[in-house]
Amino acid sequence: MYREETIAAISTPLGEGGIGIVKISGERALEILNNVFVTKDHHQKVSWEPRKMYYGFIKNPESQEIIDEVLAVYMKAPNTYTKEELVEIHCHGGMVPLRKTLQLVLEQGAGMAEKGEFTKRAFLNGRLDLSQAEAVMDLISAKTDISHEVALGQFEGLLSREVQGIQEIIKDMLAHIEVSIDFSEEDIDEVTMDQLLSKSMDAKKSFQGLLQTAKTGKILREGLVTGILGKTNVGKSSLLNALLRENRAIVTDIPGTTRDVIEEQLNVRGIPLKILDTAGIRETEDAVEKIGVQRSREIFQQADLVIFMIDASKELDREDYDFLHLIKDRRALVVVNKTDLKEAIDLSRIKSIIGDKKLVRISLLKNKGLEALEDALEDMVYEGEGFSKEQPFITNARHQQAISRGLQSLEDGIKALENRMPLDFVEGDFKNAWESLGEVTGDTVSEDILDHIFENFCIGK
Amino acid sequence: MNFYNGGSYDVVVVGAGHAGCEAGLAAARLGLKTLVLTISLESVAMMACNPSIGGTGKGHLVREVDALGGEMGLNIDKTFIQSKMLNTGKGPAVHSLRAQADKLQYHLQMKQTLENQVNLTLKQGDVIDLMVEEGKASGVKTRNGAEYHAKAVILATGVYLKSRIFMGEVNYPGGPDGLATTQELPDNLRSYGCNMRRFKTGTPARIHGDFVDYEKMTEQMGDEENTPFSFMNQALKIDQISCWLTRTTEDTKFIIEENIHRSSMYRGDMESVGPRYCPSIEDKIVRFTDKATHQLFLEPEGVHTKEMYLQGMSSSLPEEVQVAMIRSVTGLEKAEIMRPAYAIEYDCIDPTDLQLSLETKAIENLFSAGQFNGSSGYEEAAAQGLVAGINASMKIKNKDPLILDRSEAYIGVLIDDLVTKGTNEPYRMMTSRAEYRLVLRQDNADLRLTQKGYDFGLVQQERYQRLLVKREEIEQELQRLKKKKVTARELNPILDTIGSSEVDTSLSLYDLLKRPEINYKVIEPLYAESKDLMQDVKSQCEVIIKYDGYIKKQLRQIEQFKKLENKRIPDDVVYERIDSLRTEAKQKLKSIRPHSVGQASRISGVSPADISVLLVYLEQRKRGNKNV
């Protein structure tokens, strides 16, 4: 179904820049801005004067997390590019704050803008001249072709099947509700609130499971930010080189995969890794015999995955042990290098500290153990998230958003059930949940449910 | 054949079933000289199938027809023998009224209304052809040789076109209940460019009430206090007659399984499509084999007849098998069939041939309604008949048609579904078809539609004034409830008695009514003012307050929906020339000719991207680009 919702997108080129802008257009633009923007003192309500820059922070209203320090500007309809209410949030240039800000705006109810959509609206609202109309139409029809391909690919894909699985649960609930409403005098056992509640809990679990994959999906899309840490001379640089030798990522011209000067991209068994601070790794290799504490802490904070290296031939010191304690709660693995030398470390003590974290013994000099290391990396990415490679991942922000909205509606429905609202009200929420999922699979609801009713219930005069 | 001039009318309505009656009355009441032709005067408003009006979704339609100034609600209120509000255990949006009718009285009462209607002529006549001049309908021709000239024609022929009756190995041409059928008209319509299809429906047997063992059945009584269909009526005093519930037995199943090969449908005699929501008993046995028995309702057909309608047992088995099958049902061991069950096939138009006004695309000034349009049910027919009657009149008066959208009425949903999506089976209304169900309640049909009916000239002053008063009273009552505060001390004892949680501070009655367990009855001791209020006003206020959040959510969705609905598509758009549209979309748009972008977005095969392209195209056009 076509909808005119409030839309948002990152409207500056992808990649690192001084600033990046998240643009929101539509009736709810200002409302959404108000939900996520706080002033310096975090309290003051802004009475937005159009076209004036305001300084403040983007804050997640639920988790209270501060995402970025920003400048925001509100432009009043119709004097804007799209002729709609328009908001721009100027973030710091890095992709992380930009993406997080956009994500938050989407969570607040904006739809992800499609390619050319701001321009399309500008045209429809009379802002652009006729000569640009053709271009807009071409853009839309070009997009259809691409999304058609994508849709086909996804249809055969795992995600679609998973989503359909949830849809099936919901469809079944809807059919039960509808049949008890529209065919109330037929001799069909009416579905009870408790049955519905238990089914909707099943659906909720699947929803949550699916949304968790979004994190892994993002890793698969953007790469797992990886830090290699350890004392000087432990072999960080050699490990990097060894990994690179076999796995150097092919850098494509797809936006967002642009190589960063301080990152190396590599691809281990299909898992993209972004190794942080590779310059640092090389530079500090021959320096003082000490973990660069400050730098290590920074990397440690940023990384999705920590590889902590130790030297098998040297006894560990206090700092090493402190670090082992730190990584206990993180996605991390310990690499013991130089196993070709006489072992001086207390392996059992190390193992007792790190618990179930993996420990891999390698010798970079003898080129031994790399295979095991890659095994361990792979296991960590998939199993750490509780998924196998055969399971689906949400890799598309629009899908993630649709699924989140679906979960929200489902939860509304559960709440309504718990409050003993009449079934026809509850049904509305479940139908919304189904329809949100339909945005991923491209299905529409009403005929489907009728089909389901007539297939499964014996009704009629 | 030589035809004589039978006279000139503004509107000629073909058929006097539930659609034809509403169409004829509407046109006549709008001041147009109207002729209603029927194949038999005995079949005016005949209930050929179940003896009841309303039910889930359908009850909503009847109330909407009433609010717009139609006749069905008034007619059933005069002739019902039992009435029941269904779904009262669920939310107000799906409460549905259903009344058992005295079939004969219903027919006579409606016939009388037609006979007494100024501007309306009712005649027996079998229409075999249209008169068409330069693509415009200009009258009809009858089998007896009359030509009736008209400015607009409304086809409401029901199941009478090329109909064929099926009962096991037996099948023959014929209309329902032994009435005649018309062979020529559908072929002539085809020759004028209408796309015709073949549908099927069926009806169960009628049995003699004296040979029923009611001791073995469960009595189904009506509501103690009945709700009238018409907003013009108050609860009516009648002696209600009961229906009866019983079940088929294992024997029934056995008899049907033994004879299934003799059923017309399983013999493959019929090629048409029947409705999924009313399968025959043999269909139910075959498809749901694990179900040992099925429930049946016995419904009385009226006060002056012993005929009982056997709901749940429609069939196309041979008469001989029907006797055995019916006698195997608990309590029907000695049953006597008065009329056997049969299936019937008939010709109807593909409703995507129609515009939202119910005017056909092929022939100007030709309108159609009811089963001819691929729907099923008296209420669906009446709703379309009313709209066709109004719109034929508007066409003649050169005014805009009445088009209700999906957020305004079930009637809007009905017509939009038929015209935009088409249908593969006789279309029946269900509440699940309405996206905005919470707003389209049967209790507020008058508040939604009476103004429209008044604007179009069908609603009279009395009804209109009644609406204005009610609307005003609701508004005042809501304000009163907000202002009226009650203290915790006054309130808590009452809350205690009904197990509702106590309050700490004083509370407005408005906020109090938000609680699911609180209603006017509960607050009455604290609220003397409420005694004089109309029950109707109270229940409106309760619904508005209790479901406020849900209703607001739906109103927001409606606002979104309206945006695209209000973007009109001019009639002369040439879709082939919009390059960026996909081919499938071009074809679909060309054939449906949607009247708004919203309607276009509901056509299967038209994608959101196509809609974007269409929007851009329309904007270009609006700005006067010569190239498009």
What's the confidence (pLDDT) of residue B52? 97
Tokens representing residue B608 in the block:
């959101």
In this complex, do B560 and A124 lie within 8 Å of one another by their Cβ atoms? no
Residue contact A420–B612, C-beta within 8 A: no
B203/B454 Cα distance (integer angstroms): 38
Residue with tokens 């009650």: B486
CA distance A74 to chain B (A): 23
**Residues across chain A:** 461
Q: Which residues pair with B120 in a beta bridge?
A: B34
- Residue A277 pLDDT more than 80? no
Q: Locate the DSSP E strands across A318-421.
A: 332-337, 358-361
* CA A221 to chain centroid: 9
Inform me whether the pLDDT recorded for A148 exceeds 70.
no
Angstrom distance (rounded) from CA B35 to CA A265: 83
Q: Which of A130-144, A306-320, B82-96, B458-472 has the lowest mean pLDDT?
A: A130-144
Instruction: For residue B313, list chain A residues with Cβ-Cβ distance below 8 A.
Output: 461
Fold of B567-622: DNA polymerase; domain 1 (1.10.150)
User: Nearest by CB to A2, which of B287, B294, B608?
Assistant: B608
Predicted pLDDT at A387? 42
* The pLDDT of residue B117 is above 50: yes
pLDDT of the residue at A231: 79
Pick the CATH number of A7-152 from 1.10.220.110, 3.90.1640.30, 3.40.50.300, 3.30.1360.120: 3.30.1360.120
Contact residues on chain A for B246, CB-CB shorter than 8 A: none
Chain B CA closest to residue A180: B87
Q: Which residue of B has its CA nearest to A123?
A: B616
pLDDT mean over B382-390: 98
Using a CB-CB cut-off of 8 Å, the residues of chain B touching A137 are 579-580, 613, 616-617
Mutation pick from A179, A181, A439, A444 vs chain B, by most beta carbons of B within 10 Å, is A181
Q: Where are the beta strands (DSSP E) in A305-384?
A: 305-311, 332-337, 358-361
Among the residue ranges B79-93, B347-361, B520-534, the one predicted with the least confidence is B520-534
Most confident residue range from A56-65, A67-76, B377-386: B377-386
Kindly state the average pLDDT of the residues A334-355.
88
Query: How many beta carbons lie within 10 A of that of residue B214, not counting itself?
Result: 13
CA of A139 vs chain B CAs: smallest distance (Å): 9
- The pLDDT value given to residue A156: 42
Q: What is the pLDDT of residue A132?
A: 63
User: Which residue intervals of A69-130 are DSSP H helices?
Assistant: 95-107, 117-124
Maximum mean pLDDT: which of A107-121, A289-303, B403-417, B560-574: B403-417
**Residue A197 burial (CB < 10 Å; 0-12/13-18/19+)?**
middle
Confidence of residue A119 (pLDDT cuts 50, 70, 90): confident
**Left if phi > 0, otherwise alpha if psi is -120 to 50, otherwise beta: which for A251?**
beta
Total residues found in chain B within this entry: 628
Interface contact A184-B311, CB threshold 8 A:
no
Question: Using the beta-carbon criterion (under 8 Å), do A423 and B93 form an inter-chain contact?
Answer: no
Contact B609 A130 (CB under 8 A): no
| Residue in B closest to A177 by C-alpha | B432
- Any alpha helices (H) in B90-135, and if so which ranges? 103-116
Phi, psi of B273 (to 5 degrees): -100, 130
Which pLDDT score is estimated for A323? 82
Taking the Cβ of residue B294 and every Cβ of chain A, the question of whether any pair is shorter than 8 Å is answered with: yes
Distances (CA, A) of B320 to B316, B337, B341, B344, B618: 11, 11, 11, 18, 63
B309/chain A closest Cα distance in angstroms:
10
- The number of C-beta contacts closer than 8 angstroms across A and B is 141
**Average pLDDT score over chain B:** 94
Q: Which residue has the tokens 């079998």?
A: B126
Fold of A222-384: Rossmann fold (3.40.50)
Q: Do the bridges between strand B136-142 and strand B146-155 make them parallel or antiparallel, or are there none, so unpaired?
A: antiparallel
Cβ atoms of residues B362 and B193 within 8 Å: yes
- Comparing C-alpha atoms, which of B602, B608, B604, B596 is closest to residue B571? B596
Reduced to 3 states (helix: H, G, I; strand: E, B; else coil), residue A55 is strand
Confidence of residue A257 (pLDDT cuts 50, 70, 90): very low
Check CB contact under 8 Å for A133 and B560. no
Specify the pLDDT at position A234: 82
Distance CA A325, CA A342 (A): 25
Which one is the CATH code of B7-200+346-455: 3.20.20.20, 3.50.50.60, 1.10.260.40, 3.30.1380.10? 3.50.50.60
Single-letter residue type at B140: V
Cα–Cα distances in angstroms (integers) from residue B559 to residues B412, B563, B603, in the given order: 16, 7, 20
Q: Using CB atoms, pick whichever of A130, A143, A184 lies closest to residue B623.
A: A130
What residue segments make up the domains of chain A, in order of their start?
7-152, 157-215+395-456, 222-384
> pLDDT band for position A86 (50/70/90)?
very high
- The verdict on B424 touching A (C-beta cutoff 8 Å) is no
> What residue type is B159 in one-letter code?
V
pLDDT of res. B163:
96
Output the pLDDT for position B473.
Answer: 95
Report how many helices (DSSP H) and strands (DSSP E) chain B contains, helices first: 21, 22
In this structure, the strands spanning B136-142 and B127-133 are: antiparallel
CB B554 to CB A459 under 8 A? Answer: no
Which residues of chain A make contact with B612, given a CB cutoff of 8 A? Answer: 2, 120, 140
Residue A242's pLDDT is 82
Alpha-carbon gap: B438 to the closest alpha carbon of chain A (Å): 7
Which of these, B68, B98, B70, B101, lies nearest to B86 by C-alpha position? B98
| Contact between B317 and B168 (Cβ < 8 Å) | yes
pLDDT over 70, % of chain A: 69
CB contact under 8 A, A460 and B312: yes
Number of other residues whose CB lies within 10 A of the CB of residue B135: 12
Complex ipTM over 0.90: no
Among the ranges A204-218, A254-268, A282-296, B135-149, which has the highest mean pLDDT value? B135-149
Nearest to A444 by CA among A202, A167, A183, A169: A167
Contact A24, A105 (CB under 8 A): yes
| Structural tokens at position B175 | 């209309």
- Delimiting residues of CATH 2.40.30.260 domain(s) in chain B: 206-343
Does residue B404 register a pLDDT over 80?
Answer: yes
**DSSP reduced 3-state for B369:** coil
Q: Which residue in chain A is spatially nearest to B276 when comparing CA positions? A: A454
Query: So what's the architecture of B470-556 in CATH?
Result: Orthogonal Bundle (1.10)
The letter for the amino acid at B627 is N
pLDDT of residue B47: 97
The three-point CA angle B491-B495-B496 to 5° equals 120
What is the C-alpha to C-alpha distance for residues A371 and A362, in angstroms, rounded to an integer? 9
Closest listed residue to residue B310, CA positions, set B165, B200, B202:
B202
* CA pseudo-torsion sign B571, B576, B581, B584: positive
Burial class (CB in 10 A: 0-12, 13-18, 19+), A18: exposed
Task: Map tokens 């719109």 to a residue.
Answer: B391
Instruction: Pick the residue of A1, A2, A430, A452 with the most B CBs within 10 A to test the interface with B by mutation.
Output: A2
Which of B100, B217, B433, B616 is the best substitution to test chain A (most A C-beta atoms within 10 A)?
A: B616
pLDDT at residue A150 greater than cutoff 50: no
- CA dist A96 and A99 (Å) reads 5
> In angstroms, how far is CA B52 from the centroid of its own chain?
13
pLDDT of residue B13: 98
- Quote the pTM value: 0.80
**Do residue B56 and residue A182 have CB atoms under 8 angstroms apart?**
yes
Per DSSP, what are the bridge partners of residue A10? A22
Q: Which of B279, B312, B609 sits opposite A140 (nearest CB)?
A: B609
pLDDT interval class at A142 (50, 70, 90): low
Query: Tokens for B367?
Result: 């309108």
Domain B206-343 in CATH 3.20.20.60? The answer is no
Highest mean pLDDT among A160-174, A379-393, B457-471: B457-471
What percent of chain B is predicted at pLDDT more than 70? 99
Lowest model confidence (mean pLDDT) among A76-90, B15-29, B584-598, B609-623: B609-623
Return the minimum-mean-pLDDT range out of A22-36, A365-379, B565-579. A365-379
Mean pLDDT of A293-303: 72
Cis peptide before B493 (omega within 30 of 0): no
Say which DSSP state A331 is in.
S
A259 has pLDDT over 50: no
| Average pLDDT over all residues of chain A | 76
Provide the shortest C-alpha distance from residue A199 to chain B (in Å). 20
pLDDT of B33: 98
How far away is chain B from the Cα of A5, in angstroms, using its nearest Cα?
8
Residue whose C-alpha is closest to residue B560's, from A109, A195, A23: A109
Determine contact, residues B415/B385, Cβ cutoff 8 Å. Answer: no
Instruction: Give the chain B residue whose CA is nearest to the CA of A179.
Output: B432
> CA angle, B377 as apex, B348 and B387 as ends, to 5°?
75
- Does pLDDT of A250 surpass 70? no
pLDDT above 50: residue A154: no
Give the pair of three-digit tokens for residue B244.
């009866």
In the structure, what pLDDT confidence band is assigned to residue A155 with cuts at 50, 70 and 90? very low
Residue B487 sits at the chain A interface (C-beta within 8 Å):
no
pLDDT of B230 > 90? The answer is yes
B contacts of A123 (beta carbons < 8 Å): 616, 619
> In Å, what is the CA distance from B621 to each residue of A95, B328, B569?
41, 69, 11
Task: Tell me phi and psi for residue A62, to 5 degrees.
Answer: -90, -55
Q: Are B139 and B130 in contact (CB under 8 A)?
A: yes
**Which three-class secondary structure state does DSSP give residue B260?**
helix
Pick the range with the lowest mean pLDDT from A94-108, B206-220, B276-290, B391-405.
Answer: A94-108
Helices (H) and strands (E) in chain A, counts: 15, 13
The first and second tokens of residue B471, run together, are 């609307």
Q: For the domain A157-215+395-456, what is the CATH superfamily, name and number?
A: tRNA modification GTPase MnmE domain 2 (1.20.120.430)
Using alpha carbons, list the distances in angstroms from residue B573 to B448, B460, B504, B527, B589. 33, 39, 65, 60, 10
Query: Hey, what's the torsion of the CAs at B264, B268, B273, B276, to 10 degrees?
Result: 60
Distance CA B584, CA B595 (A): 18
Closest-CA distance, A422 to chain B, in angstroms, reads 5
Of A3, A446, A460, the CB nearest to B284: A460
Q: Does B314 contact A460 at a Cβ distance shorter than 8 Å?
A: yes
* Pairwise CA distance, residues B512 & B614, whole Å: 49
Among A95-104, A363-372, A448-457, B123-132, the range scoring the smallest mean pLDDT is A448-457
**Which residue in B50, B550, B619 is closest to A124 by CB distance?**
B619
Residues of chain B in contact with residue A140, where contact means CB-CB under 8 angstroms, are 580, 609, 612-613, 616
Residue closest to B158 by CA, chosen among B73, B59, B40: B40
With CA atoms as reference, report the closest residue to B55 among A190, A461, A420: A461
The pLDDT of residue B208 is: 98
Segments of A338-377 assigned E as strands: 358-361
Q: What is the pLDDT of residue A402?
A: 82
Closest Cα in chain B, distance from residue A368 (Å): 55
Asked if B560 and A5 come within 8 Å (Cβ–Cβ), the reply is yes
